[in-house]
Structure 1
């Protein structure tokens, strides 16, 4: 995806955990879309930080949606993914994308990957990889502060 591109619809999801999300439900709030995989060690290490941000920035309106992107046939087993969601306390909506519909819509190739959208659901920042969360924090502050978004 390119910067300022509009968020894709959440279509073709294999299964939702913690409630289904529709794009129109998110309009008016900044949104962090997070890609991860059960077989990705780095992804699992980043989940506590993601949860902390989800909780810390909730009052400022941040919405978090995680997307499980399978990296192998084994990753497509839904029950282990659900167990990981519970174990890592992902209480926000999680889409299991075994058909790669969202992966294709976002043109996503990496896990972990983070797509930060503003309240108009325009992409403001993309980051992937091990240091993704650290790089994302400054951008997150900008998106959560509306006057900064305009700059």
Structure 2
């Protein structure tokens, strides 16, 4: 995906955890989509920070966070393992389990962890992947969220 492209649809998901969302429900608010996998240690290290942002910026700015579990191997497709990890890391935001890579492909995503930040108009304003990307996400969040009212 390129900057300023519209958010793709969230269709073809294997299963939703913590409630299903679609693109229409996310319109008019900033959205952070994060791709992760149970076998990715960097992904797990970032989950507490994502939870913190969900609580802090969700309340102040109506930021929505949606997780996309993108399996990297056959072992990662085990639904019980994914659900146990979601519970262990207290992920309360919607999580799409994308075992068929339907959403992964629509985002043209190849990496975990990966972060896609969309503004209230649904335009992508930031993409980052890998170990150092999480450090850049919050800085970009402040740019699209603007001053607190």
Instruction: Tell me the TM-score normalized by structure 1.
Output: 0.95
**Superposed CA offset, 1:29-83 (max 9, x none):** 0000000000000100010011101111012110000000000000001010000
> Hey, what's the Cα distance between the residues in 1 that align with 2:104 and 2:23?
16
Per the alignment, residue 56 of structure 2 pairs with: 56
Answer yes or no: is 1:42 the counterpart of 2:34.
Answer: no
Aligned residues: 146
Per the alignment, residue 33 of structure 2 pairs with: 33
Per the alignment, residue 80 of structure 2 pairs with: 79
> Hey, what's the Cα distance between the residues in 1 that align with 2:51 and 2:131?
16
1:145 CA displacement: 1.2
> Hey, what's the Cα distance between the residues in 2 that align with 1:27 and 1:78?
29
SS at match of 2:117: strand
Answer yes or no: is 1:144 the counterpart of 2:140.
Answer: no
1:11 CA displacement: 0.4
> Hey, what's the Cα distance between the residues in 1 that align with 2:145 and 2:112?
24
1:136 CA displacement: 1.3
Per the alignment, residue 134 of structure 1 pairs with: 135
SS at match of 2:49: helix
> Hey, what's the Cα distance between the residues in 2 that align with 1:55 and 1:133?
17
Instruction: Tell me the TM-score normalized by structure 2.
Output: 0.96
1:135 CA displacement: 1.0
RMSD (CA atoms): 0.8
> Hey, what's the Cα distance between the residues in 2 that align with 1:57 and 1:108?
25
> Hey, what's the Cα distance between the residues in 1 that align with 2:122 and 2:80?
31
More displaced 10-residue stretch of structure 1: 98-107 or 131-140: 131-140
